[in-house]
Amino acid sequence: MFIFRLPVSCLFLTFNSINSSPQFGSDHLSKIEIGLTCYKSGEKRSELKISDNNSLQYTEWQKDGSKKITGPMIRVDGYTYRDGLWKRWYDNGNLRSLVNYKYDRLVGRCTYYHKSGLIQVEKDYGMADKVQPFYNTEGYHIGNINPANHYPEKGLWIYRGNFVTIETNYVDWMKNGVHREWTSGNSKPLVEGSYKDGKKHGNWTRYHQSSIDYDNSTGIKLYTQEYVNDEKNGKYVHYYPNGRKKEEGYLNGVQKVGLWSYYLDDGTVSRKVDCDMIDCK
CATH number of the domain at 1-137, out of 3.90.930, 1.10.286, 2.50.20, 1.25.40? 3.90.930
Rounded Cα gap, residues 82 and 73, in angstroms: 4
Residues of the chain with CATH 2.20.110: 154-281
Looking at residue 78, its pLDDT comes to: 67
pLDDT level of residue 274 (50, 70, 90 thresholds): very high
CB contact burial 74-104 (16+ within 10 A = b; e otherwise): beeeebbbbbeebebbbeeeebbbebbbbbb
**How far apart are alpha carbons 106 and 127 in whole angstroms?**
10
In a 13 Å sphere around the CA of 176, the CA atoms on its Cβ side amount to 10
**pLDDT above 90 for 263:** yes
Average pLDDT over residues 226-244: 96
Question: Where does the pLDDT of residue 146 fall: very low under 50, low under 70, confident under 90, or very high at 90 and above?
Answer: very low
The residue-averaged pLDDT of 126-136 equals 55
**Span(s) in the chain for CATH 3.90.930:** 1-137
Q: What is the pLDDT of residue 31?
A: 52
50 or 127, which is more confident: 50
Looking at residue 131, its pLDDT comes to: 53
* pLDDT for the residue numbered 33: 63
Looking at per-residue pLDDT, the higher value among 53 and 94 belongs to 94
Least confident range from 48-57, 163-172, 261-270: namely 48-57
CATH level 3 topology of 154-281 = 2.20.110
**Mean of pLDDT values over 253-273:** 94
DSSP secondary structure, the chain, as one string: -EEE-SSTT-EEEEPP-S-SSPPTT-SS--S-EEEEEE-TTS-EEEEEEE-TTS-EEEEEE-TTS-EEEEEEEEEETTEEEE-EEEEEE-TTS-EEEEEEEETTEEEEEEEEE-TTSSEEEEEE---STT---GGGSSS--TTTT-TT----SSEEEEEE-SSEEEEEEEETTEEEEEEEEEETTT--EEEEEEEETTEE-EEEEEEEEPSS-TTSEEEEEEEEEEEETTEEEEEEEEE-TTS-EEEEEEEETTEEEEEEEEE-TTS-EEEEEETTTS---
